[in-house]
Chains A and B, each alone.
Chain A
């Protein structure tokens, strides 16, 4: 009966609005903000899809999820089947449904979006993945007979997890080496619980473990073993997915005062080390009353919303451009505003001021205006002379981006990098300048997105399988 609705009628259905925790409640807890669609909402939302023959949405997704295909399965109420359809190209739907910047990807090009609001592809993706997991319908894929070949994966972020899943399915013996004590990369140490519950990431890792992937946590490649030593130990190929984990600072006066964190440190203390749970865990974190976060990306939004939840009276975003240039997902900016985050746009810090105990107590800011476009195509912010002012703060989080961590590159002779230290690869295969060594994710692109990292993992896994079967196995 659903299918019988005419396109016009379907377009009249309003886009589903996912229920959310009330902003004034959620800004003091760490539970997930959006609560997921109900089954009824999902079915109605699925009707909005026109099943377009040209499928522009599919091309808009970096890993080409069969969007109309999985939406049709929702209409047939085969939710688990829909989840499996997505997993054919994207192994992390519960995660991507939550954190993909859909408004710039699949949903941006959705036909319905031309006149109305686009189909809520991300919400539907999350719905079916949660349905599958919550109802214990996750099926382990069939695992090919063992090939006898061994693969080492360095880093357990979305790129590494994707490579692991794809290669273990094909019968390879896969080990993930992770520097931290828990797998997941940014998904566990960076993105907070209220946006991506850690149980979901753990569930994905558990599935991989059941498929036979070995996790070696607390193992820093480049320190314990080098890439060459992995080969000596019998690994036949190596994938490097070490991310962009070296925090940038501004290099201005007073930056080493107590109470000035990099976003990585602040979020790691809160998420990975569990400081947000208070005394349940042992890692301390500074609770600020007036918290300022410098930057305008997802990392900045995550930090400022964490600050608010940890009890700040005032939580500010200080960003040197205007709102349209903010790299954060629109949804996160909206969420932040609804929760009471105060935005100081076109503003840049020029120094930090400390008290007699070396703790930050204020910062001096300067107003900016937008000038000519710069290399990134965004209009360059220029300081307005004489517009300086002082803002009282007791906690500052610097979220102005990360560079690549050099540990692996520095200990792997012959591994080519670009001038920013990112590993250079053949984009069709993700192969590096070293035979049998592949790389993908943020270590190649610089800070990007979960789905791009996962997509790079897909490409690498395909090429690695070919290499293993054709050149190693013979």
Chain B
């Protein structure tokens, strides 16, 4: 069973976990993901690759507490184990010299765009990184991104740090300022990816988005991860997770993500009511946004 080397909060609800999976780490590439199972009765949850330490054999995932499994993940202490970590799954992000590229990360998406930024930079692109979150407390990986990107743009929805506004506003300003962007990669909540894709469509800038439908096996066996791209059904776990943002049916994605909302809420409620569970105070205070 894979060993957890580090597991700590970056903010109340965003955590960073490092798992020792040496073989997986030698093969994994930016844009791919893993599926984690916390314990024997646990769900299989997909997590993007947010960092690879090939020398130490460590994989970093950054996760947000949104429900039972992610809440349980916070209870695993360094030195502990998780039941499974399978991967690398999905296709890697295209790495090519586009010229000037822009990676856009919203919320939890700030994590997976980091290795993509690194990979694009390594092959000689000029890279703009735009990272944004709801407020200052939720922002993370600023230093990591600063060390890689040619230019780092930060924004918060409430203006508590960086530009006041959404990542899409910053991207629009950047394009309007005359910087010719050749390729965009946007990862974050579905509404954010949709807004970015709509914007770049107007400007005719090719844009990849990384889709996060519900998944089980991650090998193409179940079809649960179906998304619609350009009118065609695709299995995101094997044909994605990256797709042409201008062709994705975001409405369908949003709808399918809501399939188990009631069951997820009941499960989380039960977990929060269980006094034995080693949740931190902050996670115990978890509330679903309305």
Contact = CB atoms under 8 A, between A and B. Distances in A.
Given A258-B256, A282-B42, A358-B252, A223 B216 contact: no
B86 A220 contact: yes
B285 to A, nearest CB: 22
Contacts of B44: 181, 273, 283
Interface string A405-421: 11100000000000000
A224 interface: yes
B222 A264 contact: yes
B276 interface: no
B217 interface: yes
Contacts of A224: 23-24, 27, 87-88
Contact of A358 (B83, B216, B256, B264): B256
Interface stretch (B155-163, B171-179, B223-231): B223-231
Chain A interface, DSSP helix/strand/loop, else mixed: loop
Given A224-B24, A224-B87, A284-B264, A264 B221 contact: yes
A247 B222 contact: yes
B41 A282 contact: yes
Interface in B59-107: 68-69, 83-89
B252 A256 contact: yes
Contacts of B223: 247, 249, 261-262, 264-265
Contacts of B217: 179-180, 268
A265 B233 contact: no
B290 interface: no
Given A245-B221, A247-B221, A181 B83 contact: yes
Interface string A175-189: 000011100000001
A203 interface: no
Contact of B216 (A217, A269, A274): A269
B35 to A, nearest CB: 8
Contacts of A220: 86-87, 89, 218-219
Interface residues of A, number: 40
Contacts of A280: 41
A268 B219 CA distance: 13
A279 B222 contact: no
Contacts of B260: 284, 286
A323 interface: no
B277 interface: no
A261 B224 CA distance: 7
B274 to A, nearest CB: 12
Interface of A: 179-181, 189, 217-220, 223-225, 245-247, 249, 251, 255-256, 258-259, 261-262, 264-265, 268-269, 273-274, 279-284, 286, 357-358, 405-407
Interface of B: 23-24, 27, 37, 41-44, 68-69, 83-89, 216-224, 226, 228, 233, 238, 252, 255-256, 258-260, 263-264, 267, 270
